[in-house]
Amino acid sequence: VRHVVRAMASGLLVLGACGGDPPRPLAMVGDSAVGCLEIGATREAVERACGPVTDTTIHLEGMAQEAAWVRVGQRRALAEIADGAVWRIQVVDPVLATADSIRVGTAARRLATLPGVRVLRGEGTFVGTDAHCGKSFQIRGLPPEPLEWSPANLAALPDSVRVVRILVFGRCGTPEM
């Protein structure tokens, strides 16, 4: 008999079952939000939903970009701000995961099993899939030789090639770089 256990762990409600099932965080990485942090939200709306934020500046393509670290439960995600609203969210915390448990640290070959998988190159190598419209997954650890990208080649990558960042941009189509 399996029992569902509800416990408060690190500020997140964790649902699990006896028998070794991994805990699932309530703060999911969705197509247009990470927990309380939503694409399109103003700073004021983010602070109302998530609490105080920590301002920072990041550099994209050599240009300064306004950003803020936002608490999602007891974890953090980076909100990129443009025109006074969140336009993209960066997830680098391995505790925050998609509904199907893809997170920072997931082997890139797992992404090859998803429908509509494609590899995109820009400021890094990213994987997009039809199953995760509104998100892309940055991967690192690729072999030095160039590969022709296909689901089969992605599936054949060594286990050392991992997701290192999840970008949430909230709209379908080609993922932002």
Over residues 7-21, the mean pLDDT reads 34
Report the distance separating Cα 165 and Cα 175, nearest Å: 13
Confidence of residue 73 (pLDDT cuts 50, 70, 90): confident
More confident residue, 121 or 27: 121
pLDDT score, position 171 = 74
Report the distance separating Cα 56 and Cα 104, nearest Å: 22
Is the predicted pLDDT of residue 174 greater than 60, yes or no? no
Is the predicted pLDDT of residue 18 greater than 50, yes or no? no
Report the distance separating Cα 174 and Cα 153, nearest Å: 20
**SS3 state of residue 159:** coil
Confidence of residue 173 (pLDDT cuts 50, 70, 90): low
Confidence of residue 177 (pLDDT cuts 50, 70, 90): very low
Which residue in 17, 5, 14, 15 sits closest to 73, CA to CA?
A: 14
pLDDT score, position 172 = 66
Report the distance separating Cα 109 and Cα 78, nearest Å: 26
Per residue, the 3-state secondary structure of 6-58, as one string, reads: EEEECCEEEEEECCCCCCEECCEECCCEECCEECCCEHHHHHHHHCCEEEEEE
Confidence of residue 11 (pLDDT cuts 50, 70, 90): very low
The mean predicted confidence, pLDDT, of the chain is 82
Confidence of residue 123 (pLDDT cuts 50, 70, 90): confident
pLDDT score, position 20 = 46
Question: What's the full length of the chain, in residues?
Answer: 177
**79 strand-pairing partners:** 68, 89
* Measured CA angle at 93 (ends 133, 78), to 5 deg: 70
Range in 3-17, 63-77, 97-111, 131-145 the model is least confident about:
3-17
Strand 63-72 relative to strand 53-60: parallel, antiparallel, unpaired? antiparallel
Whether this prediction's pTM lies above 0.85 is answered by: no
pLDDT score, position 62 = 82
Is the predicted pLDDT of residue 74 greater than 60, yes or no? yes
